[in-house]
Structure formats: C-alpha cells, structure tokens
Amino acid sequence: MFFVTKILKYYTKRGIVQTRSLLLIPVPFFSYLYALNLNIMIKTENISFSYTEYDKIEDLNSVDLELVMAAREAAMNAYAPYSKFKVGAAVKLTSGAVIRGANVENAAFPSGICAERSALSSSVSNHSNDKPIAMAIASMRGDEYTDDPPSPCGNCRQVIAEEESRINGKIKIILSGKNKTMVIDGIGDLLPLQFNRKNLNI
Ligand SMILES: [Zn+2]
C-alpha cells in the first residue's frame, strides 16, 4: 500500500495523474491492496458433485429399479389434497427390507410431512438396527408421474443427513422422473457444508 501511494504521489506531482481522477479508482482495488498489505488470504472455493443420470429407468441395475418402483407405488398412497403433488419414498435397508413412505398433507400446512421423512421415521422406528443404504424418491402430479425427478426439500435433506450421521454411512439417493433418473452418492452432495453432530462436538 505504501509503495502504491508513493507511485501515485510521484505521478500526481508531475500532473500525470489528476487528484480528481484518483476518486475513480474503485474501492475494491484498494481493498485488495489493503488485504495484500496485511497478508490476508482471500480464496474462492468451488463445491461440485457428480451423479449418474439415466434416461430410462430400465437401465438402472435391478436393485435400484426395484427401489424406484417401490417409491412409485408409495407415491400412489400419498395424501396430497392441497398440492396435488404426490411423493413416494422407498428406503432399502441392509437386510434387504424396503420401507415406504408418502407425503401426508394437513390443512394446517406445517403439520404435514414429506415422503422422505415419513419413510425414514418408519425405518428408524421399526428397524433401528437395520441400516438404510439407499433411498428412491418418485413423484406424481395428479395421476401422472412427473417428467423431472423430485428433489428433497431442505428439511428432508437435513433429516437424511442426520440418518447418515446416525448410521455412520452413506445413503444412496435415487431421484426418479419419467424423463430421467439421477443416482447420487450420498446426501453430502445435496447438502454440502451441512450442520450436524460435529458442530455440537458429538
Ligand atoms: Zn421434504
């Protein structure tokens, strides 16, 4: 910063730089120099993730396909008189058992529950020692399965993250629509920088 000030003084004295024109030098430029002077490190980090996409669910392996079909069936049991958006989730456990859940809406909207949390609540309640290894999610608008895959809401992402934390393992997420199905390695990809038990030192 001192060095830059010296240069500006030199040129200002010789009329090369007008004092007024200095006002046009943007503040971020000086902020950058200030940060350099104090040895402050400023970095831009990128977070990315990869997933596998299938145009046709028939191309999924048989285990994942079975789970998607279970999620689709579960969606048909959804109680969604308000949104007409039915969601089904199917959780595969280590033992091979499949636990289903559907969204259950309520006239008092916040009292409703999503399919993903519905399935996981049932899984933990009835099979607490049987770890989930995968979850498929499918959705319907009216009587038709949606073209695009559904995406878990923020609440559900947080709950799936807690379950991964509880079982100390990843849960594969399969989001299935008519036009494409996305297979994601674990909830960390959908909820980076998540708040979990580590933040509580547990
Ligand atoms: Zn949700």
pLDDT tens by residue, 37-88 = 667 789 999 999 999 999 999 999 999 999 999 999 999 999 999 999 999 9
Angstrom distance (rounded) from CA 137 to CA 67: 9
Determine the distance separating the centroid of ligand 1 and the alpha carbon of 114, expressed in angstroms.
4
- Is 73 in contact with 88 (CB distance < 8 Å)? yes
Determine the distance separating the centroid of ligand 1 and the alpha carbon of 30, expressed in angstroms.
45
Angstrom distance (rounded) from CA 173 to CA 112: 22
Determine the distance separating the centroid of ligand 1 and the alpha carbon of 116, expressed in angstroms.
6
- Amino acid letter, 62: S
Average the pLDDT over 6-19 and give the result.
54
List all residues 6 or more positions away from 102 whose beta carbon is below 8 Å from its beta carbon.
Answer: 74, 75, 76, 77, 78, 79, 86, 87, 88, 89, 115, 118
**Dihedral, 6, 11, 14, 17 alpha carbons, nearest 10:** -130
Burial tier of 39 (Cβ tally within 10 Å: 0-12, 13-18, 19+): exposed
CATH superfamily of the domain spanning 52-200:
Cytidine Deaminase, domain 2 (3.40.140.10)
pTM of the predicted structure, to 2 decimals:
0.80
In this prediction, residue 95 has a pLDDT band, given cuts at 50, 70 and 90, of very high
Determine the distance separating the centroid of ligand 1 and the alpha carbon of 157, expressed in angstroms.
7
User: What does the pLDDT read at residue 52?
Assistant: 98
User: What does the pLDDT read at residue 148?
Assistant: 97
Q: Residues spanned by CATH 3.40.140.10 within the chain?
A: 52-200
Active-site positions?
A: 116
